[in-house]
Amino acid sequence: MKLLADNAPSGMKEQKFESYFGRKIAIDASMSIYQFLIVVGRSGTEMLTNEAGETTSHLVGMFSRTIRLLEAGIKPVYVFDGKPPDLKKQELAKRYSRREDATDDLAKATETGNKEDIEKFSKRTVKVTPQHNEDCKKLLRLMGVPAVEAPSEAEAQCAVLCKAEKVYAVASEDMDSLTFGAPKFLRHLMDPSSKKIPVMEFDISKVLEELELSMDQFIDLCILCGCDYCDSIRGIGPQTALKLVRQHGSMESILENINKERYQIPDDWPYNEARRLFKEPLVVTDDEQTELKWAAPDEEGLVNFLVKENGFNIDRVTKAIEKIKTAKNKSSQGRLESFFKPVSTSAPVKRKGTKCVLVSLIPVTKFKTLSLRSRPGVPGGLIYPSLGLRSGRPRASEIIYVLEGELLVGFITTDNDLFSKVIKPGEVFVSPRGLVHFQKNTGKSLASIIAAFNSQLPGIQLISPTLFGSSPPVPDDILAQTFLTTTAKIALLRKIFV
């Protein structure tokens, strides 16, 4: 985490929990269950249990946290671990040993009555069991939330779902998700709201670009920094590992040129097998087996499972079911990207045959002004053709409905994402208030549109005349620095608008 913060800061950004409205997120279930067992209803060695003495902390945590996700309009997909790779046995043995040590330390702390040590060591004895997993799978199915069983590592399966664009991102606290190649990775999504910790979003393409590494080199970097599949080389920390990968390019070259007196390479070090597990993990790729469906909750089933079998309060469960039903209706709304997709200016614009659905993210439901335009009139023409882009309506969002013709429309967000689409008769497009946007006739005939604004005084600010035709003028040196050009070229541009 610190290595990326120091060396690839543009590859990570803080986001609000609410910003993932409408997103499908693959969640590492085992990691979440582990957190619930440690935190939910725990006091020293005591945990939440039902009448039979069986632990229910994981169910309480999974139930409440999933409802929070659904209420935020997020569509969670929980992915459960399968059989661990043989190469992970050594790491699992270490974890078992640490739990055994913690159990001994807990016994000593209990004898002395040291509450602080009891709290600390009791958490270290926690283990997610197969029964915990089965309980949570059953709960999720009753809630109408998809649960995917990975054949091996859950992080690898999550990454595959993300690569296949079945989900937007992977949520976990284990950074291995990035090593498995998840395009987008989220930390702290499952933290309780009381912590008020922002979600940290990682973009693997930006991380690689800023680190100046290929994906293969990034995997080698992660192995050098330490992973579940093999020991690290003592003395090589994250910064040294990055330096070595940049200098030598591959693990083989590093091992060939490394100072072997200073750095002791473990005997029979299985870095190549670890690399293979990251590059070619055991995952399910069949569409039928990874089909994700969100359904209505099974109300009777939830009451039987939570109330009758596990002692939950009937009133709380009933209220929670109503929250789920309300949230499911809310999450059925799409995000803006479900109609428009961000596209690079170098790539051809892709278009789908879907209609636009207005969502609650854009405040355009109360329109005050209506106008009929036949612009852009000629094929290839822009609205305000001498200007091209305009900075937007400072006091209103704009919706256009195409009567005839074909338009290429788009706008640019404050994150510099371009949302663009070709729209035809019967389709609509919304340009949010204040954003740079454009409309161009890409058809072979005249185009007519109906435009509406949610203000009687929408205003308009045009980029080119604002910058080059203002009175008094913006100083040439400021514009030259802004556009990375010379004052002489700025002077030439200014003549067009003055």
Alpha-carbon distance 167 to 6, whole Å? 28
Q: Please give the single-letter amino acid code of residue 272.
A: N
Picking from 150, 197, 202, 199, the residue whose alpha carbon sits closest to that of residue 181 is 202
Picking from 439, 363, 373, 449, the residue whose alpha carbon sits closest to that of residue 405 is 449
DSSP per-residue letters across 428-473: EEEE-TT-EEEEEE-SSS--EEEEEESSS----EEHHHHHHS-SSP
Are 21 and 147 spatial neighbours (Cβ–Cβ below 8 Å)? no
Give the 3-state secondary structure of residue 308: helix
Q: Please give the single-letter amino acid code of residue 138.
A: K
Which residues on adjacent β-strands are paired with residue 382?
440
Alpha-carbon distance 365 to 377, whole Å? 28
Give the 3-state secondary structure of residue 13: strand
CA-CA distances (angstroms) from residue 99 to 31, 57, 147, 201?
17, 19, 28, 31
CA-CA distances (angstroms) from residue 168 to 161, 162, 283, 314, 337?
9, 6, 18, 35, 11
Picking from 278, 160, 269, the residue whose alpha carbon sits closest to that of residue 221 is 278
CA 41 and chain centroid, separation = 29
Alpha-carbon distance 159 to 281, whole Å? 10
Give the 3-state secondary structure of residue 162: helix
Alpha-carbon distance 32 to 79, whole Å? 10
Alpha-carbon distance 211 to 107, whole Å? 47
The residue with tokens 């030598």 is 248
Report CA torsion sign: 126, 132, 137, 142.
negative
> Is residue 398 a known part of a binding site?
yes
Q: In 288-429, which ranges are continuous DSSP H helix?
A: 299-302, 314-331
Beta-sheet strands, E only, within 306-385: 341-342, 369-373
> Is residue 149 a known part of a binding site?
no
Alpha-carbon distance 48 to 197, whole Å? 26
CA 314 and chain centroid, separation = 35
Alpha-carbon distance 35 to 58, whole Å? 8
CA-CA distances (angstroms) from residue 4 to 31, 97, 116?
22, 31, 34
Please give the annotated binding residues for Mn(2+), written as ranges.
Answer: 398, 437
Q: Write out the binding residues.
A: 398, 437
Residue numbers in the known binding site for oxalate are: 398
